[in-house]
Amino acid sequence: MEQILQYYETELDYMRRAFAEFEKHHPQKAKALGISAGKSTDADVQRLADSVALHAARLSKRLDDTLPETALDLINMVAPSFLLGAPSYAAVRLDADAETLGDPVFLKKDTVMPVMMSGDAPDCLFTVARDTQLNPCALTNASLERAPLRFDLPNMVQGCEAAICLTISPFDAGQGLSDFGCSSFEIYVSAVGGRKHRLIDVLAGDVIAVGYAPSRDGAAPAQATYMLPKHSFDLSMVQARSSFMPLHAAEPAALSRLRDFLAYPDKASYFTLSDTDGGFSKVQTGPVELRFFLSSQGAQKLSALEMGDISINVVPVINLYRDRSAPVRYDYARMQVPIKPDTATDMHVACLQICNIYELTPDGEVALPNITSLSRREDKNQPIWQERFLVGEFDQARREVSFSIPAQLEDDAPSLDIVADLYCSNGKSAFHLRPDTTVFFRDDRVAETPFRLLGEPSVAVMPDVSAERLWDILALINGNFATVFDADNPVEVLKESLHLAAPDGYCDAANAIWDVNVSQSIAPVQIGRKVLLSAGSHIEVVLDVEALPLSKHVFASALHLYFTSLISYDRFFKLTLRERGRTVPFKTFKRQHGGQICG
């Protein structure tokens, strides 16, 4: 009976808050019903509300008895990022010169970028999505050169008919890019529409060589090109530390990166040159011209290149930040206690997840173990917390947490004073930003350095916590090659897997998968210094490129991430992709063994 009283108290609290919301939005009707301060002076209305609360309490208890939170708790253990949805994303570009940015700056992930749209208080908070290097230089020229080129062709690209040339100039003309110590260099495709799509496709699949040369304003171009390794230029999204959303140790890394891309397809706009020859060391001072030599197919896809098509010093930001809750006292009189972030008092906040709970003691904060944490077994006298997931909660900033203690301490359990670390976003409020909005970061090194918003932020996708979808995601995480390729229709299973990995439950690119062919073989695989014979799978995916909403080379990389998440430690796989109606594949990945992924 005591347990039903806890449910009853929870539902009564909900009814009081619902009355208060009703009074706020419908004051005249609330006055007629005698509703004030969460209660009704009309005895009949109040009895009706209490009866509804009792009935709801009985239903809640029966639902809880069927363990509806099992799927949520399992997801929280093995793939917490699937419970975060997809907060708004935007790209901001450095809008500075030598006076405001004189030295390179390394912006760390989670650096806060407040946005003020009205008044002096922030309306929403963005954070840096991943570590980003800012260099005191600018892109001063971008062009598409066609044969005959104005410089000599290296021997390895004889016959090349086109090259993309980008001139990078230091803010200080007396410096060189080598002075910045940039071991890697990133560019961003800022073109729009079909132009952006074609340029990404060319950079992702039609670059046959990369080099650099000195550049001088008004002078003849340098004939010689200092070549860089071709494999050093690739999509930034394939790098291990490229995820925008938080990564968790228990989560399959490749699957998390696939989901990250499906949530933020603009990740395909970032390209990294990971080997810069010591920061373009052969050019001591002045501008550097980057030269990307294109295949004949790439030359046909592009008609021209304009200055606004490519940008540098672009920072990806997402509307996901960590916040603290106000201190809360919990005395075990109720089954659970509400927690809200501090920022909820100043702006609209959607609390997405509880990260940690701390007990406030005279000696400082003490981290309390989660019910899914192994550390809860170390001190069995410590309270254990568990996030409670409520369906139909109208206050997006509100989260609820319950605590459990050993049975022998139940009668004299002391009260707890707690605070929580929370993952928060501003929901759809972050979408109100407009292109060219000037923003600043909360970092002393760039506090007065302006940045400008490129394009509108993406629309936030709130997490889908329906039980059916969560169990399907768990099946996806628990799957292996047999899940897809032993199915009666592997094409449909592969499509469904991509739909599940997408935050909104739909992946438009999956509809371009036309056929999937798998063959088994044994082949030598090198792991470290050893070569071993291993069984594995050759996978061929056939795409209907006309139905593909993004670059075929980008989608190939996304599929490779998915298959990487399925491979077991004792097998290899080799992925090839070809267009429907063609016999020659357009992309072939190197053979990859599970031991190379699992370590």
Q: Are 298 and 292 in contact (CB under 8 A)?
A: no
Q: Which residues, in sequence order, are CB contacts of 356 under 8 Å at separation 6+?
A: 367, 420, 421
> Which comes out higher in pLDDT, residue 86 or 216?
86
Task: Summarize the confidence of residues 131-142 as an average pLDDT.
Answer: 92
The mean pLDDT of 419-433, rounded to a whole number, is 88
Domain boundaries, the chain: 1-66, 88-134+315-319+427-462, 136-229+275-312, 328-341+353-425, 467-598
pLDDT number for residue 595: 65
Q: What is the pLDDT of residue 389?
A: 74
pLDDT higher at 552 or 39? 552
CA distance 222 to 300: 26
Residues 53 and 59: their CA atoms lie apart, in Å, by 10
Window from 184-188, 218-222, 427-431, 543-547 with minimum mean pLDDT: 218-222
pLDDT recorded at residue 265: 94
Burial of 25 from C-beta contacts in 10 A (0-12 / 13-18 / 19+)? exposed
- Asked if the model's pLDDT at residue 167 lies above 50, the reply is yes
Q: If you average pLDDT over residues 449-460, what whole number do you get?
A: 92
pLDDT > 90? residue 50: no
Q: Is the pLDDT of residue 38 over 60?
A: yes
**Predicted local confidence at residue 596, as pLDDT:** 61
pLDDT of residue 94 exceeding 70: yes
pLDDT at 599: 41
pTM of the predicted protein model: 0.85
Question: Mean pLDDT over residues 56-68, rounded?
Answer: 70
For 189-218, the pLDDT digits (tens) are 999 988 999 999 999 999 999 999 998 665
- Whether 234 has a pLDDT exceeding 90, the answer reads yes
Give 111's pLDDT tier (boundaries 50, 70, 90): very high
Cα–Cα distance list, 503 to 103, 125, 353, 471, 497 (Å): 38, 21, 16, 15, 12
pLDDT-above-70 percentage for the chain: 92
Q: DSSP state, 539?
A: E
Q: Tell me which H or E stretch contains 109.
A: none
Given this model, what pLDDT does residue 309 score? Answer: 94
Top pLDDT among 431 and 271 is at: 271
The sign one gets for the Cα dihedral 105, 108, 109, 115 is negative
First to last CA, the chain: 53
**What's the whole-number mean pLDDT along residues 457-484?**
82
Average pLDDT over every residue of 228-234: 92
Indicate left, alpha or beta for 85 from its phi (over 0: left) and psi (-120 to 50: alpha): left
Q: What integer pLDDT is reported at residue 419 of this predicted model?
A: 94
Minimum mean pLDDT range among 124-138, 284-298, 394-408: 394-408
Share of residues in the chain with pLDDT > 90 (%) = 38
Among the listed residues 78, 55, 76, the one whose alpha carbon sits nearest the alpha carbon of residue 389: 76
Per-residue pLDDT for 453 more than 80? yes
Three-class secondary structure of residue 315 per DSSP: strand
Q: Which of 254-263, 375-384, 523-532 has the highest mean pLDDT?
A: 254-263
Res 218: pLDDT: 58
pLDDT at position 392: 62
pLDDT score for 252:
79
Mean pLDDT of the chain: 86
Q: Give the pLDDT confidence score for residue 420 in this predicted structure.
A: 94
DSSP 410: S
Rounded average pLDDT over 89-109: 86
89: pLDDT strictly greater than 70: yes
Output the 3-class SS for 134-164: ECCEEEEEEEEEECCCCCCCCHHHCCCCEEE
**In the predicted structure, residue 395 carries a pLDDT above the cut 70:** yes
Query: What residues form DSSP beta bridges with 105?
Result: 134
For residue 500, pLDDT over 70 is answered with yes
